[in-house]
Amino acid sequence: MTRLIIWRHGNTDWNAEGRVQGQTDVPLNALGRSQAATAAPLLAGLEPAALYASDLLRARHTADALAALTELPVTEDARLRERHYGQFQGLTNPEIAERHPEAYARWTGGDPDVGAEVERNDHVGKRVGEALREIAERHPGAVVVVATHGGAARQGFGDMLSWPSAVMAAIRPLQNCHWTEIVESPRGWQLRAHNVGPWPEKAIPAPV
């Protein structure tokens, strides 16, 4: 049974400030590094056979915490990057609402075509899902950890499970350094666990 552990990166200063990161390359802060170090032993206990990561620093450095324990190499894949948020990147929600009111209304209303150069969610799901499928095919029957981003994780596993957008909208975002597990069964890919991590759920941060 192939198991994919889709792991969100640790906290960054932009997470703490409520800024949309998207594909801006923001590194982990001290809290994020601590979160990765705390989560890594739990994931190491699953005895992963391979470790992949988005090439953005916050995901790569999260993966490095697990690599230090398992001695696995980290394979980077740019398809695992977060959704590109176009003109929203670097802004807080109030700033987006003020500068791009029409696009903000479409975004918060669940419109698939936000505008403002924001990548469509179905495009995110397709590229991340493609990467996850290829990773799974390389490691049949193994546990594989994939360090990525909140929005990318949700859209990617949703694509793997063939879930419609209405179902994905009902799934709560991953907390920093929490993960989703999907498994391959005779009936196809199935969700085994979501928002698993080393500490109880508190606030849900922005998934970007």
- Residue list, annotated binding site: 8-15, 58, 82-85
Question: Going by C-beta distance under 8 Å and a sequence separation of 6 or more, which residues neighbour residue 141?
Answer: 1, 2
Active site (annotated) includes residue 100: no
Active site (annotated) includes residue 9: yes
Give the C-alpha separation, 124 to 79, whole Å: 9
As given in the structure block, the two tokens for residue 78 are 């740019």
Catalytic annotation, pick one of 82, 100, 119, 149: 82
Binding residues for substrate: 8-15, 58, 82-85
Give the C-alpha separation, 200 to 198, whole Å: 7
Residues marked active site are found at 9, 82
